[in-house]
Structure 1
Amino acid sequence: MEVKQVLGNNIISSWDSNGKELLLMGKGIGFSAKDGDPVDETKISKIFSLKTQEISHFTELLSQIPEEHIQCASEIICCARDLLNKKLNDSIYITLTDHLNFAFERKKQGIEVRNALLWEIKRFYHQEFLVGQKALQIIKDRFGILLSEDEAGSIALHIVNAELDNDMEQSIEITQMIQDIMNIVRYHFTLSLNEDSLSYERFVTHLKFFAQRAVRKQFHETGDPEFCNMIYQKYQEAYQCALKVETYMKKKKEYQLSSEELMYLTVHIRRIIQEHTGK
Structure 2
Amino acid sequence: MRSISIASGKGGVGKTSFVINLALALSQYSQKVLIFDADLGLANIDVMLGISPKYDIRYVINGDLNLKDIVYPTEYNFDLIPASSGVVELTNLNSNQKLILKDQMEEVFKKYDYLLFDSSAGISENVLFFMYLAEERIIICTPEPTSIADAYALMKVGYKHHRIKDYYLVVNMIKNEIEGKRIYQQLLYVIERFLPEVKLSYLGGLPFDECVKTAVKSQIPYLKLCPENEISKKLTQIALKLLKFNPQETKGLEQFLEKLTTG
Shorter-chain TM band: under 0.3
Q: Which has the higher helix share?
A: 1
Structure of higher RCO (CA pairs closer than 8 Å, 6+ residues apart): 2
Q: Which has the higher strand share?
A: 2
